[in-house]
Amino acid sequence: MDKTQDQSKNAKIVKWLLISISTLFIAVMLLLPLVTVIIEAFRQGFEVYLKAIADEYTVKATLLTLEATLFAVVINTVFGLFAAWTVTKFKFHGKKLLTTLIDIPVTVSPIIAGLIFVLTFGRQSFIYPLLEKADVKIVFAVPGIVLATIFVTFPFISRELIPVLEAQGTDEEEAAALMGASLPRIFTKVTFPHIKWAFLYGVVLCTARAMGEFGAVSVLSGHIRGKTNTLPLHVEILFNEFKYVPAFAVSSILVILAVIVLIIRSVVEYHGKKDG
Amino acid sequence: MKRSKRVIPGFGLSMGVTLSILGLVVVIPLASLVVFTAQMSFADIIKTITRDRILASFRVSFLTAFIASLINLVMGVILAWVLVRYKFPFKRILDGMIELPFALPTAVAGITLTSLTADTGLFGKFFGIFGVKIAYTRIGITVALVFIGIPFVVRAVQPVLEKLDASYEEAAGVLGASRSKIFFKVILPEIMPAALTGFGLAFGRCIGEYGSVVFIAGNKPFETEITPLIIMSELQEYDYPSATAIALVMLIASFVILFATNLIQARSAKILKGDS
């Protein structure tokens, strides 16, 4: 009797010890940095904060970031839907190779992602004379930033959809097809209701990552203020100029986006568990 | 047989769209890396990557990434255990926070961790009492990489723990095994493949990480200069061959890590499927 009582007492101690370690770790490593951004942003009051947000270069950086993000989300959404449909609804050779290729952008360093676009469109590339003739600038210009953003967020939507569609199988689509439903009809009436939450999360995650991309964009941007500067690059410049309050003020925009991502993720997970 | 395979319409269309976008965004840029590399001589590549400063950067990058991933391996298993097995207040918030490093832009994480651990920051002041410097040292790089790597092990281990059959543990308990013995002999072997998968993914991500590290590293040659930063500075000097040679080493390293991780993952997938 004594032994089992001892054991359950020990178990309780271990339980609360592990919970404390976990809570402390998350509080220090994750929560504190998040709170720090907000505190630092408002350190000199609300007016200074607003001034930093409304600064001409901040507004221009925001616009460029939104432009790159829009391209990335639209292209990766189209790709994500078609790729997930291809991979999960059909059997074909080379599927493994296809999924590996789709995942490459998130496995390479963002700096290397930037490098390969410099090699493709930069001065030493064989396309460069053609680009010059057509007067198109890609490297150190907006198109390069857009391309890099598309690349680094490439698999985010297909990645969320593939596991859900795989678990759902192909029976319902086959039944609908045999009854004569067209492709758009099967997709919107049969498939999409299953993936709507995963799709939403994928789009939001893609948006957040596109807005926050730093390394790859940094390689391809000429760092020209007001021209090729995105929000994260603007944060870097402000921080390196010791303008800490504006740096954190601009960061706070990106932090709010991150928190929205986290909230949507837990909603998606909740619905996923309820449906499954 | 063939007919039942393709009952669902749209194979040609969705495959076509998938391959076109994949080709434009991923395959062509990667091919240009291959083309550019083929123009370099092997001797030149070796000469570039064996420069003292480059070798030192490999050491810094791999060492800090390895230590950070080890810390995340241990903390990840503890966190996954706590989140799956225990009930306590604010558990869902804790669970949601795990994803923060995926959602928060790396540059924002970088400047925040730097300001917290610099001499004037909250942690910088505290550890300064003991004469420990965090920001602008290798410890600082490791801290940033721990932050980046948190989600990988937790998210890999959680589903395995959820599926793990409690009857083995109960059997071991009935047979008189102590709780620590049950954990190390029964549970740990089951979750190890998943934990190592998470470790591999974190390690791969950490060696290429740029945004969160550049601010906190101080970037002193031979001391705290990471490899992605060297590639970045070679690019800024338009030394593309040199940047490409160093990038190749990083790419090969991350593919080896990815390959090893996939092997382990195949084993842990078997465990997951075996229960359902």
Mean predicted confidence (pLDDT) in A192-207: 92
Mean predicted confidence (pLDDT) in B243-255: 93
Decide if A111 and B231 are in contact by the 8 Å CB cutoff.
yes
- Residue B274: what pLDDT? 59
Mean predicted confidence (pLDDT) in B201-207: 94
Q: How confident is the model at residue B273 (pLDDT cuts 50, 70, 90)?
A: low
- Tell whether B3 is covered by a domain: no
- Containing H/E element for A32? helix A32-41
- Residue A71: what pLDDT? 97
User: Highest mean pLDDT range out of A76-80, A267-271, B177-181?
Assistant: A76-80
Q: What is the DSSP letter of B109?
A: H
Choose, out of B6, B17, B26, B123, the residue to mutate when testing the contact with A (most A CBs < 10 Å): B26
Convert the pLDDT of each residue in A130-164 to its tens digit: 898 988 899 999 999 999 999 999 999 999 999 99
Question: Yes or no: is domain A45-275 CATH 1.10.3720.10?
Answer: yes
Mean predicted confidence (pLDDT) in B160-169: 82
Q: How confident is the model at residue A3 (pLDDT cuts 50, 70, 90)?
A: low
Residue B271 has pLDDT above 90, yes or no: no
- Tell whether B75 is covered by a domain: yes
d(CA A138, CA A117): 9
> Per the structure block, which two tokens stand in for A171?
């029976």
- Tell whether B245 is covered by a domain: yes
Residue B276 has pLDDT above 50, yes or no: no
Q: How confident is the model at residue A37 (pLDDT cuts 50, 70, 90)?
A: very high
Residue A221 has pLDDT above 50, yes or no: yes
- Tell whether B120 is covered by a domain: yes
- Residue A2: what pLDDT? 59
- Residue A274: what pLDDT? 67
- Residue A155: what pLDDT? 95
- Residue A34: what pLDDT? 93
Decide if B111 and A105 are in contact by the 8 Å CB cutoff.
no
Mean predicted confidence (pLDDT) in B121-131: 90
Is B213:B65 a contact under the CB 8 Å cutoff?
no
In this structure, of A72-76, B239-243, B267-271, the range with the lowest mean pLDDT score is B267-271
* Å between B43 CA and nearest CA of chain A: 21
Residue B2 has pLDDT above 60, yes or no: no
* Å between A118 CA and nearest CA of chain B: 9
- Residue B1: what pLDDT? 40
Determine the residue type at B119: D
Residue A222 has pLDDT above 90, yes or no: no
* % of residues, chain A, pLDDT over 70: 96
d(CA B103, CA A62): 18
d(CA B159, CA B194): 9
In this structure, of A45-59, A113-127, B255-269, the range with the lowest mean pLDDT score is B255-269
CATH number at residue B258: 1.10.3720.10
Q: Which of A7, A212, A239 lies closest to B105 in CB terms?
A: A212
Q: Domain total for chain B?
A: 1
Mean predicted confidence (pLDDT) in B152-172: 86
Residue A220 has pLDDT above 80, yes or no: yes
Q: Which of B17, B209, B231 lies closest to A82 in CB terms?
A: B17
Convert the pLDDT of each residue in B64-74 to its tens digit: 999 999 999 99
Residue B196 structural domain:
41-86+99-275
- Residue A230: what pLDDT? 94
- Residue B198: what pLDDT? 94
Which residues of chain B have a CB within 8 Å of the CB of A19?
82, 86, 88
Per-domain residue ranges of chain A: 1-41, 45-275
- Residue A275: what pLDDT? 61
Nearest CA in chain A to B273: A167
Q: Which residues contact B227 (CB under 8 A, 6 or more apart)?
A: B54, B57, B58, B60, B61, B207, B246, B249, B250
The whole-model pTM stands at: 0.91
Q: Which residues contact A144 (CB under 8 A, 6 or more apart)?
A: A117, A121, A138, A220, A221
Residue B249 has pLDDT above 80, yes or no: yes
Mean predicted confidence (pLDDT) in A37-55: 93
CA atoms within 13 A on the CB side of B119: 1
Which residues of chain A have a CB within 8 Å of the CB of B21?
75, 78-79, 82-83
On the 0-12 / 13-18 / 19+ scale of CB atoms within 10 A, B96 is middle
Which residues of chain B have a CB within 8 Å of the CB of A91?
5
- Tell whether B176 is covered by a domain: yes
- Tell whether B6 is covered by a domain: no
A235: closest CA among B151, B43, B193, B105?
B105
Residue A248 has pLDDT above 90, yes or no: yes
Residue B170 CA: distances (Å) to CA of B16, B24, B78, B162, B189? 53, 55, 21, 16, 16
Decide if A235 and B107 are in contact by the 8 Å CB cutoff.
yes
Choose, out of B112, B155, B201, B226, the residue to mutate when testing the contact with A (most A CBs < 10 Å): B112
Cα pseudo-dihedral A197, A192, A147, A108, rounded to 10? 60
- Residue A4: what pLDDT? 64
- Tell whether B232 is covered by a domain: yes
- Residue B181: what pLDDT? 83
- Residue B5: what pLDDT? 56
- Tell whether B10 is covered by a domain: no
Mean predicted confidence (pLDDT) in B57-62: 96
Residue A276 has pLDDT above 70, yes or no: no
- Residue B3: what pLDDT? 45
Mean predicted confidence (pLDDT) in B196-205: 94
Decide if A119 and B235 are in contact by the 8 Å CB cutoff.
no
- Residue B177: what pLDDT? 78
Average pLDDT across chain A, whole number: 91
Q: How far apart are the first and last CA of chain B?
A: 28
Q: How far apart are the first and last CA of chain A?
A: 42
Which residues of chain A have a CB within 8 Å of the CB of B29?
116-117, 119-120, 151
Angle between helices B28-38 and A110-121 (to 10 degrees): 80
